[in-house]
Amino acid sequence: MSTPHASPGPAPTGPDELGLDIESLRARYRAERDRRIRPDGGSQYQRLDGEFGYYADDPYAEAESSREPLTDRVEVAVIGGGFGGLLAGARLRQAGVTSIRVIEKGGDFGGTWYWNRYPGIHCDIESYIYMPLLEEVGYVPQWKYAPGEEIRRHAQAIGRTFDLYRDACFQTQVTELRFDEAESEWIVTTDRGDRMRARFVVTASGTLSEPKLPGIPGITDFKGHTFHTSRWDYAYTGGDADGGLHRLADERVGVIGTGATAIQCVPHLGADAQQLYVFQRTPSSVDVRGNRPTDSDWAQSLTPGWQRRRMENFLTLVTGGPADEDLVDDGWTRTARLHQKLIPSESHRRQLPPEERERAYEAADFQKMNDIRARVDAVVEDADTAELLKPWYRYMCKRPTFSDSYLETFNRPNVTLVDTADSHGVERITEGGVVVAGREYAVDCIVFATGFEVGMSGVVTGRLPVHGRGGITLTEAWRQGPKTLHGFYSHGFPNLFQLGPLQNASAVNFVHVLDEQAAHVAAVVAAARDRRARRVEPSAEAEDAWVATIRQKAADLYRFQAECTPGYYNNEGRPRQRSESYGDGPVAFHDLLEKWRTEGGLDEVLVQGDGGTA
């Protein structure tokens, strides 16, 4: 399955040798960005609360099971039952913690994979590196890119393997965390009337978990059927995640949005609806998928530690590091290798002046996007439609997508692409349809493939109030900006661990980052138990030093992002001045954490009595 990485290969290709018309490509990208920019930025969207709250109802859970409110005590409460929470639970279990309670809003484990069950759902990262704990659970995925249902079942298998169902609370939302100084433990309050206690709390509530709707005028006037892709209404469409949406045979359907979700569900809507209108504002880049079943000989040949080696190899390659081979060998790693063709070695890269490095990256990017655009021409028969489907921006301006059936769908006679870029999106929704450029497209059903609120957990936004020592809230403590040590813990908030990219690492395979985070948290909790520490809490000085490191190393993505077409990657065209993730990248960050653990770092956070460290 693995392809040796061409090495050392031919002499580097210079950007000028690629035959690109760089100036006109730059001008085209700028024009597309300017055409798309909206003055209202992120506020063009609305959250699913109030009159839109029903869009977020759980269509999968059985009737809410009644239970008595809990007032008991656990050693660790984990908020969130997606892969972050499951990994935290598993790694804590491996570290010897017996009392673990996962608290989850959904009716089961899975997080994203619990909520998202739309037709065609697959992971866009290779399953052998995306699905965590494969060796621990004793499972090899059946496909290179697993369908959502297989991933959801794997989440359940992790829950069973690590005995996390025993104390789990599903259909339960944490409403407040309050630190009880006298007992040195957290009081966890929930919407089910619970008031439980936990010595440690781990928050793993996800970064793309709150669906959002566009604030399109007239959205409440629509008399037909509507739903968001993350709450797919199979009772209405028929079929399941494999497709077969037979109830749409006489229906006219409109889908709004053409991001990574739409790329996967549009082929099924196109196959089964009487008529499908795809309302597009910005086309996605759609690269080759090449999914295939797992080769059983390969699966048999795997040796212990294979998954970690593969995950690390992928992470190294996609973050621009050197590797002798490319184990995953797919669209993600091949694109990263394109950069290396232009700047082949790490040392060469470091020696290049920044402007030359940027020129090489830009040239590789233009070449990649030219290939993506050429693919549209090769697949889509109607020339006007093909033109509209071509993305004019840099590769990482938006989440790259992969599909071998999305572009083909536009060759169907019942599928129409409606471009909305000039009006900054759909203009209006009426009782019976969707209006673009003054024309009403009559539809019976509107599917919102319009994405999720991004980046911030409820703990960070204050939607989940956290009261630390002295009753101070986390949002008050962070008024001047987030302050953590390594992204995990904050002064004044003992025994509270946060998972997520903030002042930590980020990567396209985010589950890998979550696993490193979970292992780190488990090691710190285990050390706190072994040394009988009263609290885990960084000093204000350690926190300040880490914030200074984050600032000093912060990648300046401002210029790159400002030139991108708007989307959630660049805060809808209003990029933040600096990144809040560790600037040297995830590989360096994971090394840093390991060194910190083995070279006395734990002494900085384990507090014995009311003052000194353990």
Note the residues at the interface with ligand NDP (CB under 6 A).
122-125, 208, 214, 216, 256-262, 279, 281-282, 399, 420, 425-426, 449-452, 567-568
Least distance between ligand NDP and beta carbon 353 (Å): 33
Q: What are the φ and ψ backbone dihedral angles of 540, each rounded to 5 degrees? A: -60, -35
Least distance to ligand NDP from the beta carbon of 310, Å? 17
* Residue closer to ligand NDP (CB basis): 466 or 564: 564
> To the nearest whole angstrom, how small is the minimum distance from the Cβ of residue 379 to ligand NDP?
19
Residue placing its CB nearer to ligand NDP in the complex, 111 or 458 = 111
Q: CB of 145: closest distance to ligand NDP in angstroms?
A: 8
**Beta strands in 31-82, from DSSP E residues, in sequence order:** 45-47, 73-79
Q: Give the shortest CB-196-to-ligand NDP separation in angstroms.
A: 32
Query: What is the H or E stretch that residue 3 is in?
Result: strand 3-4
C-beta of 190 vs 258, nearer to ligand NDP: 258
Could you tell me which residues are beta bridge partners of residue 485? 489
Treating both helix axes as pointing N-terminal to C-terminal, what angle do 22-36 and 354-379 enclose, rounded to 10 degrees?
A: 80
Q: Determine the straight-line distance between the first and last CA of the chain, rounded to whole angstroms.
A: 49
In DSSP terms, 210 is beta-bridged to 453
Whichever of 452 and 582 has its CB closer to ligand NDP, that residue is 452
CB 86, CB 103: distance < 8 Å: no
Q: Which is nearer to ligand NDP, 259 or 586 (CB)?
A: 259
CB of 248 to ligand NDP, least distance (A): 20
Q: Compute the least distance from the CB of residue 366 to ligand NDP, in Å.
A: 20
For residues 342 and 397, which CB has a smaller minimum distance to ligand NDP in the complex? 397
Q: What is the largest CA-CA distance in the chain?
A: 73
Choice between 162 and 314, CB closer to ligand NDP: 314
In the complex, the smallest distance separating the C-beta of residue 346 from ligand NDP, rounded to whole angstroms, is: 28
CB of 166 to ligand NDP, least distance (A): 30
Return phi, psi of residue 445, to 5°: -145, 140
Residue 50, sorted as left (phi over 0), alpha (psi -120 to 50) or beta, turns out to be left
Nearest approach, Cβ of 390 to ligand NDP (angstroms)? 14
Pick the closer one to ligand NDP by CB: 401 or 498. Answer: 401
What distances in angstroms separate CA 125 from CA 9, 85, 137, one per listed residue?
27, 20, 19
Nearer to ligand NDP, 213 or 522 (CB): 213
Smaller CB separation from ligand NDP, 206 or 492: 206
Nearer residue to ligand NDP within complex by CB, 88 or 397:
397
CB contact set of 532 (below 8 Å; sequence gap of 6+): 608, 614
278 burial (CB, 10 Å; 0-12 / 13-18 / 19+) is buried
Cβ 554 to ligand NDP shortest distance, Å: 22
For residue 64 the two structure tokens come to 């809410």
CB of 420 to ligand NDP, least distance (A): 5
Query: In the complex, what is the shortest distance from the CB of residue 572 to ligand NDP, in angstroms, rounded to a whole number?
Result: 7
Shortest distance, position 330 Cβ to ligand NDP, whole Å: 13
Reading the block at residue 499, the tokens are: 């998972």
Given the complex with ligand NDP, which of 83 and 170 has the nearer CB atom?
83
**Closest to 261 measured CA to CA, from 106, 460, 447, 423:** 447
User: Which residue matches tokens 């996007």?
Assistant: 369
Residue type at position 208: L
Please list, in sequence order, all residues whose beta carbon lies within 8 angstroms of the beta carbon of residue 67, skipping any fewer than 6 positions away. Answer: 192
Nearest to 387 by CA among 373, 398, 400, 401: 373
SS3 612: coil
CB 521, CB 602: distance < 8 Å: no
Report the DSSP beta bridge partners of residue 76.
Answer: 100, 200
Write b or e for each residue in 307-334: b if 16 or more Cβ atoms lie within 10 A of its Cβ, otherwise e: beebbbbbbbbbbebebeebbbbbbbbb
Residue 409, CA atoms < 13 Å, CB-side half-sphere: 27
Q: Closer to ligand NDP at the Cβ: 450 or 490?
A: 450
| Beta carbons of 239 and 262 less than 8 angstroms apart | no
96 sits in the region (left: phi over 0; alpha: psi -120 to 50; else beta) called left
**CA atoms of 407 and 43, how far apart (whole Å):** 31
Q: How far is the CB of 425 from ligand NDP (least distance, A)?
A: 3
Q: How far is CA 219 from CA 42, 225, 236, 442, 602, in A?
A: 18, 12, 19, 14, 53
Question: Of the two residues 88 and 256, which places its CB atom closer to ligand NDP in the complex?
Answer: 256
Q: How many helices (H) and strands (E) does the chain have?
A: 22, 24
Nearest Cα to Cα of residue 486 among 530, 536, 561: 536
147 closest CA partner among 246, 238, 268: 268
Nearer to ligand NDP, 189 or 385 (CB): 385
